Amino acid sequence: MKVGFIGVGNMAKAIIVGLRKAGFKGENILVHSGHLAHYQAFATEQQLVIEESNEAVASKADVVILAVKPDIAEKVLSSIKSELRGTSQLLASVVSGLSIAQIQHVIGQRPVLRVMPNVNVEIGEGMTALAASGDLQETPYKDGQKVFERVGKVMVISETDFPTFSAIAGSAPAYAYFFIDALSRAGVKYGLTKEAATDIAAQVVNGSAQMVLQANENPAALIDKVSSPGGTTVAGFLAMEEAGFMTAVVKGIDATIAKERED
Ligand SMILES: NC(=O)C1=CN([C@@H]2O[C@H](COP(=O)(O)OP(=O)(O)OC[C@H]3O[C@@H](n4cnc5c(N)ncnc54)[C@H](O)[C@@H]3O)[C@@H](O)[C@H]2O)C=CC1
Ligand SMILES: O=C(O)[C@@H]1CCC=N1
């Protein structure tokens, strides 16, 4: 199976690195993007096949991944339309806010997968949502699904939930990094080096995430297990809440969703 990328920016690079780490051969990854100088070294390092145009990627790949910015996505789709094959080929779009109906309006009734990955696909720890224009058990869709399953967890969701998913999974790595950075800076405030404090904060978030996933317990119950009566944790937790921690997070997600709706 050949996977083609149209647009090789941050997201496509993260997917490609994840695929390569998972053993997907570079000779089966075709790429074309806006400026050769921006991705030539990356393509060479990852042993990818650089195609001379978006059209070439569209005609040769079995799974064509559209990974350009939302504002040019429909123009790019329109330019590759005549190169796309029939119903045996899949067009998978990771473009935020672009619906299956909008894609099919441009390229016709071909198999389309709407995908919302996040950058953690780069290390095989992605959280990706999928919605399909047809039956996910059919070959072209299965092929697309397999690509994202190789780089993390995959969840099939309704298209109406994409803005929410995009906020709490697509954008949220940035918010999780922000929390790690905040915890780390607090460590630095009390004398730890930034490097040590960041290592500590990242491992704590990593371990805590594993606890939520593996212990199959509500995070609120886990908070209670750490919070000894009259102890230090509950004092810190309540001070964070007084400063509006939960409200700040939810407001951040509200703004993320509002921005996608506005675009
Ligand atoms: N960065 C992220 O964490 C996520 C991004 N996305 C979506 O992925 C898409 C790409 O985002 P990023 O990679 O972050 O943006 P980016 O700006 O890093 O990459 C876009 C790439 O498209 C290329 N490009 C511009 N015009 C082109 C054309 N006519 N033909 C082919 N390539 C062209 C640019 O040179 C650039 O390399 C967006 O639609 C975004 O909504 C989705 C989930 C997460
Ligand atoms: O910031 C963005 O627009 C994209 C969508 C999800 C993550 N990054």
Q: What is the complex's ipTM, to 2 decimals?
A: 0.98
Residue extents of the structural domains in the chain: 3-157, 165-262
**Closest residue CA from atom 3 of ligand 2:** 96
Give me the CATH topology for the region 3-157.
Rossmann fold (3.40.50)
Per-residue pLDDT reduced to its tens digit, 29-68: 999 999 999 999 999 999 999 999 999 999 999 999 999 9
Give me the CATH topology for the region 165-262.
ProC C-terminal domain-like fold (1.10.3730)
Ligand in closest contact with the CA of 115: 1
CA distances from 34 to 6, 82, 96, 191, 216 (A): 9, 20, 18, 45, 44
Distance CA 81, CA 4 (A): 15
What per-residue confidence (pLDDT) applies to 131?
A: 98
For the annotated binding site for NADP(+), the residues are: 6-11, 67-70
pTM of the model: 0.96
Q: How confident is the model at residue 113 (pLDDT cuts 50, 70, 90)?
A: very high
Ligand 1 centroid to 129 CA: how many Å? 17
**Closest residue CA from atom 18 of ligand 1:** 9
Per-residue pLDDT reduced to its tens digit, 190-234: 999 999 999 999 999 999 999 999 988 899 999 999 999 999 999
Distance CA 263, CA 261 (A): 6
Ligand 1 atom closest to 33 (CA): 32
Distance CA 226, CA 172 (A): 24
